[in-house]
Amino acid sequence: MNGITNTGTTPLNEQPAAAQNTFIRLLKLGKPYTGWYIILCVLAAVISLTTVGLAESLRRIINAATNHNTSGLTAGMAFAAVIVITDAGANFLNTYLSGLLEIKSTSKLQISMLTRILNVQMKDLDRYHSADLISRMNDSAPAAQQGINRKTIDLISNLLQITFLLTYLLSLQFALTLGTIIICALVPLVMLPFTSRLRTMNEQRQSIESAQQAFVQDSIQGAEVVRAFSLAPRLLRQFTGRVRQFNTVHLPVSRIEAVGYNMPLAVILGGLLYVLSYGGYLVIGGRLDVGAVAAFLICFEQISNPVSKLANLWTELQSSLAQGKRLFEVMDLSEEDGNSAGLKTAGMQDEAWTEGVNLTVAGQQPLTFSNVSFGYGQTKVLTDIHLRIEPGKVTAFAGASGSGKSTILQLMLAAYAPDGGSIHHGRVSLQAIPPRSWRSRIAYVSQEPYLFSGTLYENIVWGRPEASREEVIAAAQNAGIHEFIMRTPLQYETVIGERGLTLSGGERQRLSIARAFVREPGLLLLDEPTAALDSHNEEIVQQALRVLMTNRTTVVVAHRLSTIRHADHIYFMEDGAIVEQGTHGELMALQGKYHAMAQAGVQTEAAAGGGISNEY
């Protein structure tokens, strides 16, 4: 099936959540960690107080030294020592706990994001490129969460530090402190013109980055095609173009960030000059002692630091908001089970099905489609489908490529809901059954089986995680893959490479059939399971499938006549509609489209000199 994906270049959400809304939602993400925040805020307060304490101890030491006061000097040094030890301890705890909180909260968010991705409706998932989703999980989730964890704590600790220091300075000299406050207030103001532009540009930058990641992923995963069609130079040219496009967005962001980060520093330096000049003037006039001027200088340095951090924090928060928007876009996708419209209209609840599950499992009742229509987005794929899958029988679908056969299997899997009409299992609407319960007794074998990176054993047991080792081995034997597994270096514990690419097509398919065996399905869905195999492998896989299909409700999509001629019932499809149906004999006797296609296949094989006369 073709998937039309979003590479992240075009934002999917045409009505972006307001930044304020995103900010509030980001804040809510931090709610479960309120206790941690309180501890970190207390630590921030202690650290801020120690900063004031250091300035005060410096003032005492300098004044004691200038006044030749030895006991005052000793007391000042002892005070400084206590402050330094407290400061070091609080800083250690602060760094350790915020690191721990970051790991805890980010991993929790990533888990809920993956849970959402694994459960969203296929229709929504189809719109995203996998690389885009990976980037949202690996980059957007931590950045968004840190925007709350680290930056909120930073905000509070910086504000505390500024408040404590200014209060202390006010106690030393009012006029000098007033000037300092005015200069500090100027710092965020000079940032204002840049902030909203930065947010928009950061969103754009993130989208382009995602598209780039998707491009690289496709280039690496399509390595075979890239080499076979000598696509490397073309891909590199395209990539260079993309890098240029990225730079056109990235460079202005860097420029604005550079100005944004440095403007506050310039203002602070100007303020420092003011304090030095005016402070010196006050000392000459005898209105301030030397120790206080030294404390003022230290404090000014200690204030300028959090103030510039505060200004940068605002810039960084813009990036977190952009990442938060990407995160929430995925988190807002509705889950399959959350699509309870079907449950409600059918007047059913989960428990009703759970109870029913004891009486019936998928494939034990007739599965009927009544007037079903369906499309991917705006494109209509199926119209007016009426069909019936009988329990314990083999039903086949044949027809031209793109006529909608695989889509029918997807509807049976409840991967998509029909746009019109209804699908019933016995008397229960499929939409009234929680998808996970429905699929628990279905096995699906596709043309290109998906294998997970892991051991051969794991790839089979995924079919039914609670299966025993004996059952897994029996499934492998039934699927005709046991001997092969026993010849591999670590037998069932042999690790297969990414997507099982180290195995042949036939081996991959037999492994997926073993997975289907271990599931003990009531309903077996086979989507052209032998189409990609050569005739030798096809025969081996067919043998395995024959065992698997025995006494099981089976729906098979196939091009090969050998696979479908013995089916109990065949539906022949054209342009998303069922145009003929019956047994192989009935359809051949009809001399219609099925017959024509079968004949065309026979002639093709004869012309090719092939021995498989029953393939069309």
Ligand X SMILES: Nc1ncnc2c1ncn2[C@@H]1O[C@H](COP(=O)(O)OP(=O)(O)OP(=O)(O)O)[C@@H](O)[C@H]1O
Contacts to ligand X by CB under 6 A: 1-4, 126, 376, 379, 381, 399, 401-407
Q: How far is CA 272 from the centre of its chain?
A: 47
Closest CB to ligand X among residues 4, 228: 4
Q: How many CB atoms lie within 10 A of CB 142?
A: 20
Give min distance, CB of 577 to ligand X, in A.
12
Closest CB to ligand X among residues 438, 571: 571
Closest CB to ligand X among residues 195, 562: 562
Nearest Cα to Cα of residue 374 among 336, 344, 343, 405: 405
List C-alpha distances in Å: 455 to 399, 452, 459, 460, 494: 37, 8, 6, 9, 5
- Residues with Cβ within 8 Å of 161's Cβ and at least 6 positions away in sequence, in order, are 44, 47, 48, 51, 302, 303, 306
Closest CB to ligand X among residues 385, 548: 385
Closest CB to ligand X among residues 147, 404: 404
Paired residues of 202 in beta bridges: none
Closest CB to ligand X among residues 315, 406: 406
Residue 169: half-sphere exposure toward Cβ, Cα within 13 Å = 27
Give min distance, CB of 4 to ligand X, in A.
5
Closest CB to ligand X among residues 329, 448: 448
Backbone dihedral angles phi then psi of residue 440, each to the nearest 5 degrees: -60, -25
Residue listed under structure tokens 């189409």: 531
Q: How far is CA 455 from the centre of its chain?
A: 24
- Residues with Cβ within 8 Å of 80's Cβ and at least 6 positions away in sequence, in order, are 54, 57, 58, 61
Give min distance, CB of 403 to ligand X, in A.
4
For residues 508 and 453, give the distance between their C-alpha atoms in angstroms, rounded to a whole number.
12
Closest CB to ligand X among residues 222, 402: 402
Closest CB to ligand X among residues 142, 399: 399
E strands in 491-576: 495-496, 523-527, 553-557, 569-574
Closest CB to ligand X among residues 76, 601: 601
Structure tokens at 572: 């022949």
Nearest Cα to Cα of residue 152 among 40, 57, 255, 54: 40
Residue listed under structure tokens 């080499």: 227
Give min distance, CB of 454 to ligand X, in A.
26
E strands in 377-426: 379-389, 394-399, 420-425
Nearest Cα to Cα of residue 120 among 139, 133, 138: 133
Closest CB to ligand X among residues 106, 339: 339
Regarding beta strands 367-376 and 420-425, do their DSSP bridges make them parallel or antiparallel, or are they unpaired? antiparallel
Q: How many CB atoms lie within 10 A of CB 222?
A: 14
Give min distance, CB of 126 to ligand X, in A.
5
For residues 119 and 121, give the distance between their C-alpha atoms in angstroms, rounded to a whole number.
7
